[in-house]
């Protein structure tokens, strides 16, 4: 693993020190992303945890703020959301997160789903664009979410959605389609050409490096990360090794590394530290070496990409340092 490096997509929601000691041992820093997930603490509560960690481990954590969608159908909601964003920025946030509940959960008073290109969201997007504030977004889900179980490409998705049918969109055709989610995201990029935007999780287009490449070509201010989607790159590398390697090299200035580890106490203090270590080493082997590897998400072997040193430096450090303002 290179030193230093940045895990630029995590959710550090506990004050346990084991993960921070592991980060020190590896020369790692974290970008922790505030998110309006129902089982997370409030956005302000998440920020308080990070403040405590940063006090103990200075210069190891930066964070992304977010905003509450409570009252989204009420007059003045957008102004309140902008005020909340400004408070997060005053606390040192590197940008703002918009989550998939916009598009996959929230509805207007007529029962229609509120998408990211809805007029209710526009004042927030206008403010961020005009103020040159970074927006990062998780829109939709992996395409597997809309497929039957036997057509899903990785076992991790198949297992999750078989155990959580309430989130398996194939069973819920009344929800917006995968294409509608992606099209709504693309429309805001077209309407806000100066918006600095990081489309998380390979833009939720993890199934096709060609689709990701097409968006990166189309939108010059767009960046992405590989968080929780490395297995989809590995799957494509089974049969398209040269194409995946070429993709990583061509877009070496636009892609950032992250794990999306959720530190909520469920792993245990040492368990979450061990999880970081396991993922960092496994992912490094994939991107940096030519080893023959196996992944738990699908059967078969694939070869590591053996990326050039300058590409690895950008993927694991330089891009995130530039985009998120690490020293």
In three-state form (DSSP H/G/I as H, E/B as E, the rest C), the secondary structure along the chain is CCCCEEEEEEEECCCCCHHHHHHHHHCEEEEEECCCCCCCCCHHHHHHHHHHHHHHCCCCEEEEECCCCCCCCCCCHHHHHHHHHHHHHHCCCCCEEECCHHHHCCECCCCCECCCCCCCCHHHHHHHHHCCCCEEECCCCCHHHHCCHHHCCCHHHHHHHHHCHHHCHHHCCCCCCHHHHHHHHHHHHHHCCCCCEEEHHHHCCCCCHHHHHHHHHHCCCEEEECCCCHHHHHHHHHHHHHHHHHHHHHCCCCEECCCCCEECCCCCHHHHHHHHHHHHHHHHHHHHCCCEEECCCCCCEEECCCCCHHHHHHHHHHHHHHHHCCC
User: The dihedral of CA 64, 68, 74, 79: what is its sign?
Assistant: negative
**Dist. CA 255–CA 249, nearest whole Å:** 10
Tokens of 229: 């989607």
Instruction: Give the C-alpha distances (Å, rounded to integers) separating 277 from 25, 85, 201.
Output: 10, 33, 20
Domain 5-145+172-324 fold: TIM Barrel (3.20.20)
**Dist. CA 253–CA 259, nearest whole Å:** 19
Phi, psi for residue 187 in degrees, rounded to 5: -65, -40
Arithmetic mean of pLDDT, 46-72: 98
pLDDT of residue 119: 98
Contact present, 35 and 99 (Cβ < 8 Å): yes
Arithmetic mean of pLDDT, 245-260: 98
- The pLDDT-based confidence of 327 (bands split at 50, 70, 90) is confident
Predicted TM-score (pTM) of the model is 0.97
Arithmetic mean of pLDDT, 257-274: 97
Instruction: Give the C-alpha distances (Å, rounded to integers) separating 51 from 34, 46, 306.
Output: 13, 9, 38
Phi, psi for residue 171 in degrees, rounded to 5: -90, -5
pLDDT of residue 294: 98
Domain boundaries, the chain: 5-145+172-324
Arithmetic mean of pLDDT, 87-100: 98
Report the DSSP pairing between strands 292-294 and 301-303. antiparallel
**Dist. CA 316–CA 28, nearest whole Å:** 10
**Which pLDDT tens digit goes with each residue over 274-319?**
999 999 999 999 999 999 999 999 999 999 999 999 999 999 999 9
**Dist. CA 205–CA 43, nearest whole Å:** 27
pLDDT of residue 7: 98
Tokens of 36: 């309006």
**Dist. CA 116–CA 123, nearest whole Å:** 12
**Which pLDDT tens digit goes with each residue over 194-210?**
999 999 999 999 999 99
**Dist. CA 167–CA 180, nearest whole Å:** 17
What torsion do the CA atoms of 141, 189, 83, 81 make, to the nearest 10 degrees?
Answer: -40
Tokens of 181: 């989610």
Instruction: Give the C-alpha distances (Å, rounded to integers) separating 273 from 48, 137, 290.
Output: 21, 26, 26
Contact present, 228 and 206 (Cβ < 8 Å): no
* Summary mean pLDDT of the chain: 97
pLDDT of residue 216: 98
Give the gyration radius of the chain's Cα atoms: 19
């Amino acid at each position: 693993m290179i030193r230093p490096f940045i895990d630029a997509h995590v959710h550090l929601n506990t004050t346990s020190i084991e993960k921070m000691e592991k980060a020190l041992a590896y020369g790692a820093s974290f970008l922790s992303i505030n998110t309006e997930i129902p089982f997370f603490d409030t956005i302000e509560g998440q920020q308080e945890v990070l403040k405590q960690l940063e006090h103990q481990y200075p210069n190891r954590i930066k964070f992304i703020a977010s905003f509450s969608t409570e009252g989204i159908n009420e007059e003045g909601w957008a102004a309140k959301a902008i005020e909340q964003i400004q408070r997060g920025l005053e606390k040192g946030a590197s940008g703002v997160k918009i989550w998939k509940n916009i598009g996959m959960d929230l509805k207007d008073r007529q029962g229609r789903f509120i998408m990211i290109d809805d007029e209710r969201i526009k004042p927030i997007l206008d403010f961020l664009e005009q103020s040159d504030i970074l927006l990062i977004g998780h829109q939709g889900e992996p395409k597997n979410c809309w497929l039957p179980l036997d057509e899903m490409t990785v076992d991790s998705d198949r297992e999750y959605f078989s155990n959580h049918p309430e989130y398996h969109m194939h069973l819920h055709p009344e929800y917006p389609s995968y294409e509608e989610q992606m099209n709504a995201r693309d429309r805001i990029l077209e309407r806000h050409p100066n918006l600095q935007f990081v489309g998380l999780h390979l833009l939720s287009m993890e199934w096709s490096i060609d689709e990701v490449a097409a968006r990166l070509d189309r939108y010059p201010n767009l960046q992405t990360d590989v968080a929780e989607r490395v297995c989809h790159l590995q799957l494509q590398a089974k049969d398209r090794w040269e194409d995946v390697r070429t993709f990583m090299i061509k877009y070496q200035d636009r892609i950032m590394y992250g794990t999306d580890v959720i530190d909520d106490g469920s792993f245990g203090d040492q368990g979450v530290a061990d999880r970081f270590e396991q993922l960092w080493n496994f992912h490094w082997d994939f991107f940096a070496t030519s080893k023959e590897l196996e992944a738990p998400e699908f059967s078969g072997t694939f070869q590591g990409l053996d990326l050039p040193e300058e590409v690895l430096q950008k993927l694991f450090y330089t891009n995130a340092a530039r985009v998120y303002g690490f020293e």
